[in-house]
């Protein structure tokens, strides 16, 4: 287990585990081929947005990446747990590359600039779980 995984609170792990079970059961997935990819080859399907503690909200989004598609360097006003549902994704953060395959996850600290790229031949999907400050953009592009 690398250092990034050591900072996850048990309650976040339980919540993410529940989300993974839901995803595995097909409760959070979109129908195959039904993705509406944007110009960069990314499709986002929000499945949950709920108040967490009055200051933050919990958000879950399925992100599908077309072959070769990438999300540019960005950050979030809170933490993200990225769980790869299918395929393989390279995440770049803090000068390191993390290659994750289906069934693996990555903890991304609040404000950490990172990017993600599909390195599979087919569509790759992740379940992104955010615990972020309310009334702030969830996705902030780096300049």
pTM score of the predicted model: 0.76
At residue 133 the predicted structure's pLDDT band, cuts being 50, 70 and 90, is very high
**What confidence tens digit (pLDDT) does each residue in 75-130 have?**
999 999 999 999 999 999 999 999 999 999 999 999 999 999 999 999 999 999 99
Domain 5-141 is of which CATH architecture?
A: Sandwich (2.60)
- CA-CA distance, 100 to 34, in Å (whole number)? 24
Q: In the chain, how many H helices and how many E strands?
A: 1, 10
How many Å from the N-terminal Cα to the C-terminal Cα in the chain?
Answer: 32
Each residue of 13-63: pLDDT tens digit?
444 544 444 444 444 444 444 579 999 999 999 999 999 999 999 999 999
Find, among 97, 90, 83, 91, the residue nearest to 119 by Cα.
Answer: 90
**Residue 11: how many other CB atoms lie within 10 Å:** 8
The kind and range of the H/E element at 13 are: helix 10-24
Domain boundaries, the chain: 5-141
């Amino acid at each position: 287990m690398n250092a990034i995984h050591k900072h996850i609170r048990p309650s976040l792990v339980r919540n993410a585990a529940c989300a993974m079970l839901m995803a595995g059961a097909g409760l959070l997935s979109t129908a195959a081929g039904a993705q509406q990819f944007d110009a960069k080859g990314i499709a986002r399907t929000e499945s949950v947005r709920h108040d967490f503690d009055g200051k933050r909200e919990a958000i879950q989004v399925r992100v599908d990446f077309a072959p070769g598609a990438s999300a540019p360097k960005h950050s979030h006003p809170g933490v993200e747990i990225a769980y790869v549902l299918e395929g393989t994704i390279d995440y770049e953060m803090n000068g390191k590359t993390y290659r994750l395959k289906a069934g693996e996850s990555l903890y991304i600290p609040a404000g950490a600039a990172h990017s993600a790229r599909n390195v599979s031949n087919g569509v790759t999907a992740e379940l992104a779980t955010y615990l972020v400050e309310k009334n702030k953009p969830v996705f902030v592009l780096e300049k």
